[in-house]
Amino acid sequence: MTDKDVRTRVVEAADRLFYGHGIGRVGMDAVRDAAGASLKAIYREFPSKEDLVIAVLEHRHQLWTSGLESAMAGIAEPRERLLAVYDYLADWFDEDDFRGCGFINAFAELGADSTRVAEAVRDHKASFQRYVDALVGEIGAPTSLGPQLAILAEGAQTSAAISGAPDAALSARAAAEVLIDVAMAGRTDHR
């Protein structure tokens, strides 16, 4: 087995455990058992638990990005591409193991004590904001719409996690449609 295979198995196992139980409640022995790797191999790849948390957040960022891209695949109309963000959230919220945003969870647990974790979370959220901003640009809406739509998505994630009800994405989508319509009407009124 290569170091890359060990690294991948450890990150995926840690991701499942951290997301399901919380970072602080999961020890490296549990990660070892779930990954089927020795502690020596784990610590060779990740000298500290914080290093492993950062790798898990990088993994989650890749999953998030590829998930959004998949949700957009085949959608040509820019407005529908923008609204597909909320459809992606609705599908995610409906998963049996949904426990909220892994980035928000990590920040809540470690953000005050780990500048690296806080930075990784901020980078991910900034990346999502840029993504939404680009989609807003595709429809020709004012740039002020991007942060409004991103905060709807962020709020839906938190609401769905706390309430356990996946319909937060549908509510956010409906609000996004109103915001888009108002922004676009304002755009045409001023031309």
Per-residue pLDDT of 35-88, as tens digits, reads 999 999 999 999 999 999 999 999 999 999 999 999 999 999 999 999 999 999
d(CA 169, CA 153): 7
- What pLDDT, on the 0 to 100 scale, is given for residue 4? 78
Token digits of residue 172: 């956010």
Question: In CATH, what class is 1-47?
Answer: mainly alpha
Give Cα 131 to chain centroid, integer Å: 12
pTM score of the predicted model:
0.92
- The one-character DSSP state at 56 is H
- CB count within 10 Å of CB 117 equals 21
In this predicted structure, the answer to whether residue 187 has a pLDDT above a threshold of 90 is no
CA-wise closest residue to 100 among 159, 26, 173: 159
- The residue ranges of every structural domain in the chain are 1-47, 48-189
Report pLDDT digits (tens) over 124-163. Answer: 999 999 999 999 999 999 999 999 999 999 999 999 999 9
CA-wise closest residue to 120 among 132, 102, 134, 99: 102
In this predicted structure, the answer to whether residue 94 has a pLDDT above a threshold of 70 is yes
- What pLDDT, on the 0 to 100 scale, is given for residue 191? 44
186 falls in which pLDDT band (50, 70, 90)? low
Scored b (16 or more CB within 10 A) or e, 78-101 reads ebebbbbbbbbbbebbeeeebebb
Over residues 76-104, mean pLDDT: 96
Domain 48-189 falls under CATH 1.10.357.10: yes
- What pLDDT, on the 0 to 100 scale, is given for residue 18? 98
In this predicted structure, the answer to whether residue 190 has a pLDDT above a threshold of 70 is no
